[in-house]
Structure 1
Amino acid sequence: MTSSYQQQLDAKIERIQTQFSEFNPPSLEVFASPEQHFRMRAEFRIWHTDDEMFYAMFERDADQQKKVIRIDEFPIADQNINTLMPILLTELKSNEVLAKRLFEVHFLATLKGEILVTLVYRAPLNEAWETSAKQLAEQLNIKIVGRSRGQKLVLSDEFVIEELQVFERKFQYKQIESSFTQPNAQVCQKMLEWACNAAESSEKDLLELYCGNGNFTLPLSLKFNRVLATELAKSSVYAAQWNIQENQIDNIQVARLSAEEFTQAYNGEREFRRLQEAEIDIQSYQFDSVFVDPPRAGIDDDTLKLLQGFNHIIYISCNPDTLHDNLKTLLQTHKIVKFAMFDQFPYTHHIESGVLLEKI
């Protein structure tokens, strides 16, 4: 590792160890990132001048004024994104239809080399744009989606298929344009393996809250009799169901519920037609373990109370502060037996962490 990356990683390790020391956790397992070409997503503004057009990002100066930073290469992004960036820009510049009122360019790549490009405009997209964009997509062997206010044009697919390896098995994931996916695929694979190691093989069932597109659901399903996964976003539920079928896994059901709604259903406080329509009987499950990967806000109080009834809790967190706060409740009934940090976002202050909790 270079000294600059090691220094920022060491700073994150020290921060996490200091913040959580009051809980006396076991030794921290640290999963580093590649130093370059680790981001599978990148988004840029397109900056227009009288005689030039280039990728741009912004930073604030000492007076908090936005300063335009020209981007000719982006080493933290996937190598295929870096290779495509100048080629795509040259083609866009040479085509007045594609260049006019172009506002942003978004890249979504996979470890297998597939790339989807979203072109965002400040003007409506017409037939001429669609014709030119299709030609460009074929020429560069990429997928293109066009967006403007209230308009979205999908030329072929609005998704890429990622392949992540977990131990000896490869899993296929549909990743939909503009939907959340893990940005650092190589660290994501380490997270999946850590979660699977944390989950002891069980003849009972797993509850997963906030399942997204099934990123963790698929490999974890191999450790349990059945899995009930919950997710509220329709696009993520659709992707998760596609991923389950594509990977030929038959012991997962996905319920379109928020964590709060699941808690209400599980406690018998509310009935949901969505569960009936999906033929999901929550009471038929014999839950022993729960996996949670909540948003930055953490877990609500009612759901925390629900989790306290499970023997095993695997908690992946994108916000150490809310994890720390949630643990104040969960450690009333559980103890930490595994503690990990995943450097999903090198060169930023963001930290992804994980704990395995067992009932006292």
Structure 2
Amino acid sequence: MYEGEIKKLKVEDLAHGGDGVARTKEGIAVFIPLTIPGDLIKAKITKIKKNYAFAKLIEIIEAGKGRKKPPCPVYNDCGGCQLQHLEYKKELELKNNNLQQIIKRIAGIDEYKINEVLAAEDDFRYRNKAQFPLTTKESGEITAGFYKRGSHEVVPYHDCLIQHPLINRILKTTLKELNKREISVYDEETAEGLLRHLVIRVGVCTNQALLIFVTNGNEFKAKENIAEKILAAIPELKGVIQNINNKNTNVIFGKKDIIIRGENYIKEYINKTAYLISARSFFQVNTLQAEKLYNKVLDFLEENNEQKIVDAFSGTGSIALYIAEKAEKVFAVESLKPAVKDGKRNAALNKIKNIKFINGLVEDELAKILAEEKIDSIIFDPPRKGLAEKTIDLLNNLEIEKVIYISCNPATQARDLKKLKGKYRLIEIQGVDMFPNTYHIESVALLKLKNKSGEI
């Protein structure tokens, strides 16, 4: 096998990143984007590693069961979605299989209950937040879109099918106003130019929106006039914000926000719980699926209003607020000060008084809480990298009756479950399809403390 070779391959599986997986006669795994299990294809080998290779789809000789024509006209180039060529029922089936395989392969656990992935009622138009990189056409026109697969080249597109419709309306209106003026766009190579990103947030249940201009520096001429024009055209828009990010980085937001016009937050609901969401607040991007996820957490907590619960990596307190009625007291631990501030504001909004918000690292604050309080349950919702070793060690040296572990990265979740399986038994895992048409899946795991004989 050599780079540039055209090979006939049968796709057998789907990798976690969304690529189809075929094997050569020599047993080498080949990863091919835009393919599904059952596809018989011709593919061009693009890169060869020691035990695997990558290829580009050239021709579908015979389509696998569940393949469909992707509805997005820029799907083959845009890197935002990976599974639009799959029927939704098949997508859910493969996501469930992947989740199960990851837990078995990495954690070495196969005795537990796994439920069918909770499907989205609508697999399109679900995202309540969009981050658009900007670029300039040869004509000088400012445009926006998403990064091409595996690159930072912008694929211009203004009607993304997985975004809430209001996001696309605001995007088109904003670009129209920007193009009436001479405004420079940031260039990653030279680190020059003003406009870096447009970020748009929408309250799905309230139809309120927030527009954020991410700029390379404070100077943004005519920003008040631009904001006023957009606000006049879009009544649902509640505020226009400027975020300053003058660092040479791939991180989208800087640390300084300036309100250009209007409010600096929107309101959203998950079930009956209200949330005020600011420009940089963390909030689940699929509001309706977040409700299903949080309801599963409530199910795992069961009926016991005398519990003391820790919500670790609490962000703006979205889970803590949602489960507060099930607890005597909730300790919400979060490292980012602005998120803690948002959490306190949202607790006041909902008249919830049994949450203590703590600003600090989970691996440090958890030990302090457990030294002073008898905690019944801990809910973890860590970033993609999973739990710190210090947190794992703490759990293995204590006896917490119930651990609920939410993850957006099944691989690191499985890694941590493996480290905890001597002390805690995995009872149940529930996948939640927060991101239809992409390879991403959210999962929530229930673990219970084993007794000295190793049983629950």
Give TM-score scaled by structure 2 length: 0.68
When structure 1 is superposed on structure 2, of 326-335 and 128-137 the one drifting more is 128-137
Give CA deviations for 1:199-224 in whole Å, capped at 9, x if unaligned.
12322311121111111101211111
Distance change >3 Å, CA 325–CA 149, structure 1 → 2: closer
Look up the match of 1:52: 141
Alignment of 1:223-234 (within 5 A): 223-234=326-337
Look up the match of 1:106: 199
Contact kept? 1:40, 1:110, Cα under 8 Å: yes
Match status 1:28 vs 2:28: no
When structure 1 is superposed on structure 2, of 24-33 and 124-133 the one drifting more is 124-133
Distance change >3 Å, CA 330–CA 224, structure 1 → 2: same
Contact kept? 2:264, 2:279, Cα under 8 Å: yes
Contact kept? 1:36, 1:77, Cα under 8 Å: yes
Q: Secondary structure at the match of 1:355?
A: strand
Displacement of 1:149 after TM fit?
4.3
Match status 1:237 vs 2:237: no
Contact kept? 1:125, 1:148, Cα under 8 Å: no
Give CA deviations for 1:13-33 in whole Å, capped at 9, x if unaligned.
111112224331113241122
Aligned length: 338
Q: Structure 2: which amino acid aligns with 1:154?
A: I
Distance change >3 Å, CA 179–CA 65, structure 1 → 2: closer
Contact kept? 1:53, 1:93, Cα under 8 Å: yes
Displacement of 1:182 after TM fit?
1.0
Distance change >3 Å, CA 147–CA 328, structure 1 → 2: closer
Mapped to 2, the partners of 1:348 and 1:327 lie a distance apart of: 25
Q: Secondary structure at the match of 2:318?
A: coil
Match of 1:137 among 227, 231, 234: 231
Match status 1:13 vs 2:80: no
Contact kept? 2:367, 2:394, Cα under 8 Å: no
Look up the match of 1:321: 411
Displacement of 1:137 after TM fit?
2.3
Distance change >3 Å, CA 235–CA 86, structure 1 → 2: same
Give CA deviations for 1:1-42 in whole Å, capped at 9, x if unaligned.
985333332221111112224331113241122210111111
Distance change >3 Å, CA 104–CA 113, structure 1 → 2: same
Contact kept? 1:98, 1:129, Cα under 8 Å: no
Displacement of 1:122 after TM fit?
4.3
Look up the match of 1:73: 159
Match status 1:343 vs 2:417: no
Look up the match of 1:162: 268
Mapped to 2, the partners of 1:18 and 1:132 lie a distance apart of: 51
Give CA deviations for 1:88-132 in whole Å, capped at 9, x if unaligned.
322332345799953421111111111111123346435632243
When structure 1 is superposed on structure 2, of 132-141 and 212-221 the one drifting more is 132-141
Mapped to 2, the partners of 1:214 and 1:146 lie a distance apart of: 25
When structure 1 is superposed on structure 2, of 46-55 and 236-245 the one drifting more is 46-55
Look up the match of 1:307: 395
Distance change >3 Å, CA 95–CA 113, structure 1 → 2: farther
Contact kept? 1:29, 1:339, Cα under 8 Å: no
* Higher fraction of helix: 1
Mapped to 1, the partners of 2:155 and 2:346 lie a distance apart of: 39
Structure with bigger gyration radius: 2
Distance change >3 Å, CA 245–CA 325, structure 1 → 2: same
Contact kept? 1:122, 1:148, Cα under 8 Å: yes
Displacement of 1:66 after TM fit?
5.2
When structure 1 is superposed on structure 2, of 232-241 and 254-263 the one drifting more is 254-263
Mapped to 2, the partners of 1:105 and 1:302 lie a distance apart of: 38
Q: Structure 2: which amino acid aligns with 1:231?
A: E
Look up the match of 1:287: 375
Look up the match of 1:86: 172
Mapped to 1, the partners of 2:370 and 2:351 lie a distance apart of: 32
Q: Secondary structure at the match of 2:282?
A: coil
Displacement of 1:266 after TM fit?
4.1
Displacement of 1:313 after TM fit?
0.9
Contact kept? 2:197, 2:215, Cα under 8 Å: yes
Give CA deviations for 1:304-340 in whole Å, capped at 9, x if unaligned.
2333411011111111111111112322122222210
Mapped to 2, the partners of 1:231 and 1:147 lie a distance apart of: 22
Q: Structure 1: which amino acid aligns with 2:146?
A: M
Q: Which runs of 5+ in 1 are unaligned?
A: 269-282
Mapped to 2, the partners of 1:65 and 1:185 lie a distance apart of: 29
Displacement of 1:51 after TM fit?
4.8
Look up the match of 1:273: none
Q: Larger relative CO (CA 8 A, sep 6+): 1 or 2?
A: 1
Contact kept? 2:214, 2:243, Cα under 8 Å: yes
Give CA deviations for 1:132-167 in whole Å, capped at 9, x if unaligned.
3234324423211123445642123222211111xx
Q: Structure 1: which amino acid aligns with 2:348?
A: Q
Give CA deviations for 1:271-296 in whole Å, capped at 9, x if unaligned.
xxxxxxxxxxxx2x331111111111
Match of 2:222 among 128, 131, 140: 128
Displacement of 1:236 after TM fit?
0.7
Give CA deviations for 1:175-230 in whole Å, capped at 9, x if unaligned.
22123221111111110111111112322311121111111101211111111111
Mapped to 1, the partners of 2:154 and 2:361 lie a distance apart of: 39
Mapped to 2, the partners of 1:41 and 1:123 lie a distance apart of: 23
Match of 2:364 among 257, 261, 265: 261
Match status 1:176 vs 2:278: yes
Mapped to 1, the partners of 2:380 and 2:303 lie a distance apart of: 18
Look up the match of 1:214: 317
Give TM-score scaled by structure 1 length: 0.86
